[in-house]
Amino acid sequence: MIESLGNWIRTHYSNEINTEMDGQEVIVMGWCRELRDIGKLKFIKLADREGFLQITAKEGVASPNIFKKFENLGREDVIAVKGIIKANKEAPQGREIIPIDIKILNTAEKPLPLELETKKTPADITTRLNARVLDLRKPEITAIFKISDFLKRSFVDYFISKGFIDLNTPLIVGAAAEGGATMFKLDYFGKDAFLNQSPQLYKQMVLASGFDKALIVSHVFRAEPHDTYRHLNEILQMDIEEAFIRDEEDVLKHFDEYIKFVIENIDKKCANSLEILKFKIQDIDIPIKRLTYNETLKELGKNGIKIPWGEDLTPEAERKICEFYNPVLITKWPSKIKPFYCMKEENDPKLSKGFDLLFNGIEISSGAQREHRLDELIKNIKEKGLNPKDFKFYIDAFRYGMPPHAGWSIGLERFTMALLKLPNIRETSLFPRTTERLLP
């Protein structure tokens, strides 16, 4: 029978209970991850967000009602337990809970579509994503998202400490930031609209409003038909934009300081998650190595990878350059492969003030000093084969005093993937959106 919590309130998560609390009454809640019946002893491995607890019922100690409820329990049923903490060297982490009462809050259908305990036959990524709710209950999967949460929070914390203001920009837009071919089109009250592929145009407009240091954390959407280990069609993008800069180095330095901030704090903030993953965060040399695009092509050429000048790096090339410099900031990209808002080099307009950050063999961030001069911006738009009239709302922001500015964005999923050296970016998205996956 399904029961209600009544007046019960959770007092502790599993990681908050220790041997020093011996004899204390607590209420814990979670899932029956494992059940064991050894005659006069019955055990529940209770799983919650923070780990596991052993619930131990002994004949002659626990009430007959407790034993009756044990008989009705199955794996992944949801329960609440009121009980007494007991220090026990033989129990996990040296503590267990002796139940006074158990409430069955809900039951799980059997058989389970995904095995949560047995490691002998690990499910493939498709099976796991089809049963994602169960997959997310695994400690090693939970650990990935706790680390991802830390990266997102640390991004906001770091940039707020540097005087940036946390702002929000539209997700439904009327013009493309980087080309309409990679945007999801929708009907907006009879007008053509798109899901935003980047907050780029709006975060620049924000700088014209006087917010000269802006940070934006936003979902973005890419209608790119790539079905690879490194692509998603919806990601969480973390952006900064800063005005009154001298050149792009004024925002490049934030990579050095933010990455250093992450590395210095992650072991302390995510110790348990890293332990579950059996993963040690690598040390990183600060400042991050800078290579120009031309230097990068020369380095790759010496190692057997030929990239024609003016083309983007292949995944193979990204992995190779990171064998020598990791992470690495690649600067001075050809202007023809950078967006229209990217400023060109004054002495060589074939080059831009754009840059990419590569880490553990994959690009995780890109940015540039932006073109803030109206005439040059309109010229760039036309050179890309675009119509300035389609960007009037954006261009108008440059008519009334736009300061020199630069910025970059970093994809949370790719950053998490690169940092933890995960094999597939789908591991870093709760419910990934790809060319083949719209559900769950």
Active site residues: 222, 224, 230-231, 363, 366, 414
Residue 345 vs residues 248, 334, 335, 350, 354: alpha-carbon distances, Å: 11, 10, 9, 7, 10
Helices vs strands, H then E, count in the chain: 12, 16
| Residue corresponding to tokens 């690495």 | 328
What is the 8-class DSSP label of residue 338? Answer: S
What is the 8-class DSSP label of residue 351? Answer: B
Under 8 Å CB-to-CB from 148, ≥6 apart: which residues?
A: 412, 413, 416, 428
Cα dihedral 394, 400, 406, 408, rounded to 10, equals: -30
3-class SS of residue 52: strand
3-class SS of residue 174: coil
The beta strand positions in 230-295, using DSSP E, are: 234-243, 289-292
Q: Could you tell me which of 323, 322, 360, 366 has the C-alpha nearest to residue 341?
A: 366
State the Cα–Cα distance between residues 360 and 315, nearest whole angstrom.
11
Residue 76 vs residues 127, 138, 226: alpha-carbon distances, Å: 18, 12, 36
State the Cα–Cα distance between residues 251 and 79, nearest whole angstrom.
50
- Beta sheet of 165-166, edge-to-edge order: 165-166, 213-221, 234-243, 405-411, 362-369, 354-359, 328-331, 289-292
